[in-house]
Amino acid sequence: MSVVEERSTVLTQEVFEELARHAIRTDEAVRLEFVNGKLGVKDVPDGDHGRIIAWLTQVCIQSEQGLWLFPEQGLRIETRNARPDGALAPIDTFVGQGEWASADGVLMVVEVTSNDADTDRRDRVEKPRAYAETGIPVYLLIDREAGEVKVHSQPDGVRYEQVVTVPFGKTVELPGPVGIELDTAPLMAWVR
């Protein structure tokens, strides 16, 4: 009997993590999340998505703050599990933690919108709320559909109090503790 069959009435964080482990063993292309009590499946990133994360990783490394942008690191955010496209943290933050790590020490999470049906709900509504509730200082949303970057900051435990939106091509400050000036002009080349 599988984990899903045994506990089909309640999906807890522990049951989700077991289900996610099973999904990874059976299909490398499946990426699961558990946000706001909902089981979600993230699309496998396309080439432009991957290039955006590579670019942002380079920007973060060049800041010379000893930070690294960890792609796809699973995070425990309160009683949920999210797999942001990137988690900016000091280089040793996730050592010894495994697939679902604590969000302690994460300075910024990054999501790059995909072309899937629930991007609006997931990346623009549910995740900002979940990341703010967890106290992650900065949430960066690279919205390919809208052609803009949204920088969420100052989490109050419920929401981000500050949201700055700029169109691709402008420069935006990623506020402390990140403290990086981000020129978004390169993003215009990776939107189809």
Query: Does 18 reside within a domain?
Result: no
CA distances from 100 to 32, 33, 168, 179 (A): 11, 10, 32, 26
Query: Does 15 reside within a domain?
Result: no
> Phi/psi at 162 (nearest 5 deg)?
-115, 130
If one counts every other C-beta atom within 10 angstroms of the C-beta of residue 91, the result is: 10
Query: Does 87 reside within a domain?
Result: yes
Mean pLDDT is highest, among 45-49, 61-65, 72-76, for: 72-76
Please determine, for residue 8, whether its predicted confidence score (pLDDT) is greater than 50: no
Q: What CATH number is attached to the domain comprising 58?
A: 3.90.1570.10
Smallest Cα–Cα separation from 74: which of 90, 60, 85, 61? 85
Query: Does 92 reside within a domain?
Result: yes
| 88-106 confidence digits (pLDDT tens) | 999 999 999 988 999 999 9
In angstroms, the CA 67 to CA 90 distance is 4
- Give the pairing type, strands 108-112 and 138-143: parallel
Give the mean pLDDT of 11-39.
56
The parent domain of residue 145 ranges over 45-190
142's tokens: 């690279």
Residue listed under structure tokens 């803009």: 148
| 108-163 confidence digits (pLDDT tens) | 999 998 876 666 677 777 889 999 999 999 999 999 989 999 999 999 999 999 99
Backbone CA torsion sign across 84, 145, 185, 151 = negative
Longest dimension (CA), the chain: 54
pTM score of the predicted model: 0.78
- Split into its structural domains, the chain has a count of 1
Query: Does 146 reside within a domain?
Result: yes
Query: Does 37 reside within a domain?
Result: no
Q: Any alpha helices (H) in the chain, and if so which ranges?
A: 3-6, 13-26, 47-62, 119, 127-134
Query: Does 20 reside within a domain?
Result: no
Give the mean pLDDT of 5-34.
54
Please determine, for residue 27, whether its predicted confidence score (pLDDT) is greater than 80: no
Share of the chain above pLDDT 90, in %: 55
